[in-house]
Chains A and B, each alone.
Chain A
Amino acid sequence: MNSHFNSIDHELLVRFLSGDASEQEKTDVQQWIEADDQNQEYFDQLEILWNSSADARILSSIDLKKDWQKVQERISNTATQNQKGSFSLRITAYQLVRIAAVLVVAVGLYFTIPLLISQLIKPVTVAASNNPVLVTLPDGSEVYLNKNASLTYPEALDGKTRAVTLQGEAFFEITKDESRPFLIKSAQAVIEIVGTSFNVRNIDSTGVIISVVTGTVLLYDEERETSKLTLKPGDQGSLDKTHGLLITSNMDVNFLSWKTGVLTFRNTGLKQVVSDLNRHYGNRFELASTALESCTLTSTFDHQAIGEVLEELRLVLPIQIQEKGNVIIISGEGCNPGQ
């Protein structure tokens, strides 16, 4: 123990913990804590004791001896029926009673936690219907829900971990908190993050696709926590029933177009263009022939309606456009290299 250790008035610490300390006293305590690691440790221990002791009062309502007697009575009733001899365990009855006390409190906690969750801290579900929705979580994290996606999370999000459930597609910007991992449950997958931005796409009940923009993301099957896939910026990871855990690099520049509203093409082959347009506008474009795949497009569409996109395509490429009901058919003879 060093000299700082004894120089604090312990009653001052009590006043601090009780909330009775003056501003000056609070400052004095903070300074003492910061002056030495041992002080910090000592204070932390007192704080744990202080906080937990309030909860410990619940044990006053239990009469351990009486409860243990009840157990013994039930046991001896069974014993006289079975006549199998006396009850002997490798541990003493006293130890058992003490364990029982802990169990009772733990059971009490197990009851309280879900009750709290379901009654007071209700899980909140936010769903996007036809437009993306931005959800700001209590910890400052932002989740952009794509159409028809939904996010469920405990109202306060203040547990040891920050856990949410996702259905559909969403883009996450998570506030960094290394002491509290952020967990996303989607289908069978668990995605664990620490302060990053990335996209999660949950297609159906079986799979997810994660595309990472910044930071590091861990992806794993909720039933197999030992194999975790590490994803870095530019990586795309997926989990589904057919392929299990897979990693590919993320080459799709427009995977976030639903959130940004921007589509970027730079010498992009028409096949890829059509694929991105379909995802963004909802499956309406079709190439009439494979010859058209030789065409490339360089253009940017920023929050533009389909009509404008079509106009531009018509101007820039040697194509004809036909609308047949809901489908837009792009036909033509193809392009020369470099057109």
Chain B
Amino acid sequence: MDEARDIVQNVLVGIYEKRNALEITTSIKAYLYKSVYHACLNALTQVQIHKDHHEQLKHQLSFTDDHDTMINAELEAKIWSAVQSLPGQCRKIFEMNRFEGMKNSEIAKVLGISIRTVETQISKALKILRDNLSDFLIPLLLLSAGV
């Protein structure tokens, strides 16, 4: 994760430094995504020791659709910020289930409430998430059906 943050920061600073020479014809978002993608490839190849590993890596990465990775990442980021906006206990319970991987029965025990209440809070969270993200989800569903 630390490396990930470093790479992104480097890309952002690099763009700033080149700003007078830069001409971005697509969207800033697309440009940033592409820059980060290439920065990752560079960083990853430095991690490889053997040349044939590098070739295999390039081969594997060329089969990974970087669009999909970006879409997944974007979805996760949106989910995360939507979760941050959930009301108090609802958020806590949702995070315990999804982020910490706790079972509903365990959550009920720790918080001293009924399993039913846990389920109600989680379903409330899901409804809120879905309402917030429906604009993003519908094209996403179409995409995954088409591939």
Contact = CB atoms under 8 A, between A and B. Distances in A.
Partners in one complex: yes
Contacts of B110: none
Interface string B134-147: 10011011000001
A154 B1 contact: no
Nearest to B37: A110
B109 to A, nearest CB: 14
A75 B99 contact: no
Contacts of A180: 147
Given A60-B99, A106-B33, A45 B63 contact: no
B13 A18 contact: no
Contacts of A102: 70, 73-74, 77
A321 B80 CA distance: 79
Interface residues of A, number: 69
Given A74-B13, A103-B32, A110 B69 contact: yes
A105 B137 contact: no
B113 interface: no
A80 to B, nearest CB: 13
Q: Which range contains the number of B residues in contact with the other chain? A: 35 or more
Contacts, number: 191
Given A57-B98, A89-B28, A106-B69, A52 B75 contact: yes
B76 A103 contact: no
A100 B8 contact: yes
A23 B33 CA distance: 44
Contacts of A100: 8, 12
Interface stretch (A160-168, A290-298, A309-317): A160-168
A108 B44 CA distance: 12
B4 A111 contact: yes
A146 to B, nearest CB: 22
A49 B115 CA distance: 21
Which secondary structure dominates chain B's binding surface?
helix
Interface in B101-147: 101, 103-105, 116, 119-120, 122-123, 126-127, 129-130, 133-134, 137-138, 140-141, 147
Interface string A88-110: 01110000101111111111111
Interface string A163-185: 10100000000000001100101
B83 A179 contact: no
A180 B60 CA distance: 16
Contacts of A152: 56
Given A104-B5, A114-B57, A99 B79 contact: no
B104 A45 contact: no
Contacts of A108: 1, 4, 73
B17 to A, nearest CB: 6
Q: Which one of B37, B61, B79, B137 has the greatest number of beta carbons of chain A within 10 Å? A: B79
A180 B56 CA distance: 21
Interface stretch (A6-14, A212-220, A276-284, A329-337): A6-14
Given A11-B119, A54-B99, A107 B40 contact: yes
A105 B91 CA distance: 21
B76 A52 contact: yes
Given A56-B76, A100-B8, A154-B60, 18 more contacts: A10-B127, A45-B141, A53-B129, A55-B72, A89-B19, A99-B28, A102-B70, A102-B77, A104-B8, A105-B76, A105-B77, A107-B3, A107-B40, A114-B61, A118-B53, A118-B56, A152-B56, A222-B62
Interface of B: 1, 3-5, 7-9, 11-13, 16-17, 19-20, 28-29, 32-33, 36-37, 39-40, 44, 53, 56-57, 59-65, 68-70, 72-77, 79-81, 83, 94-95, 97-101, 103-105, 116, 119-120, 122-123, 126-127, 129-130, 133-134, 137-138, 140-141, 147
